[in-house]
Structure 1
Amino acid sequence: MNCMSIDLSNLRQKFREREYKLTPQRQIILQVFVDNRDKHLSAEDVHNIVRQQSNDIGLATVYRTLELLSDLDILQKMDFGDGRSRYEINETSTPHHHHHLICLACGKVIEFEGDLLEDLETVISRNSNFTIVDHQVKFYGYCQECRDKSED
Structure 2
Amino acid sequence: MRMDDLSLAELENRCQQGGLRVTANLREILEALITRPDHPDVDSLHERLWARGRRVSLATVYRNLGHLVAAGVVAEQHFGPGKARYEVATPHDHLIDISTGKIIEFCEPRLNALEEKIAAQMGYRVVRRRLELYAVPLDERS
Give the TM-score normalised by structure 2. Answer: 0.79
Higher Rg of the two aligned structures: 1
> What is the alpha-carbon distance in structure 2 between the residues aligned to residue 112 and residue 84 of structure 1?
22
2:8 corresponds to:
8
1:108 corresponds to:
102
Which amino acid in the other structure matches residue 30 of structure 2? L
- In the alignment, structure 2 segments of 5+ residues that lack a partner are none
Percentage of pairs with the same residue: 26
User: CA distance change for structure 1 residues 3 and 79 in 2, over 3 Å: closer, same or farther?
Assistant: closer
Alignment of 1:37-76 (within 5 A): 38-76=37-75
Which amino acid in the other structure matches residue 137 of structure 1? L
> What is the alpha-carbon distance in structure 1 between the residues aligned to residue 12 and residue 115 of structure 2?
37
> How far apart are residue 105 of structure 1 and its match?
3.4
Q: How many residues align?
A: 141
Give the TM-score normalised by structure 1. Answer: 0.75
> Deviations for 1:122-146, whole angstroms, at most 9, x for unmatched residues?
13431x211113321111133579x
User: CA distance change for structure 1 residues 144 and 24 in 2, over 3 Å: closer, same or farther?
Assistant: farther
| 122, 132, 136: which one aligns with 1:138 | 132
Which amino acid in the other structure matches residue 32 of structure 1? A
Secondary structure at 1:100 match in 2: strand
| Aligned partners of 2:20 and 2:67 also within 8 Å | no
> How far apart are residue 53 of structure 1 and its match?
1.5
Once superposed, what is the RMSD of the aligned Cα atoms?
2.8
> Deviations for 1:46-104, whole angstroms, at most 9, x for unmatched residues?
1121121132112221111111111111112222122322121123xxx4xx3211122
> What is the alpha-carbon distance in structure 2 between the residues aligned to residue 16 and residue 65 of structure 1?
14
1:20 corresponds to:
20
> What is the alpha-carbon distance in structure 1 between the residues aligned to residue 35 and residue 105 of structure 2?
17
- In the alignment, structure 1 segments of 5+ residues that lack a partner are none
> What is the alpha-carbon distance in structure 2 between the residues aligned to residue 64 and residue 144 of structure 1?
41
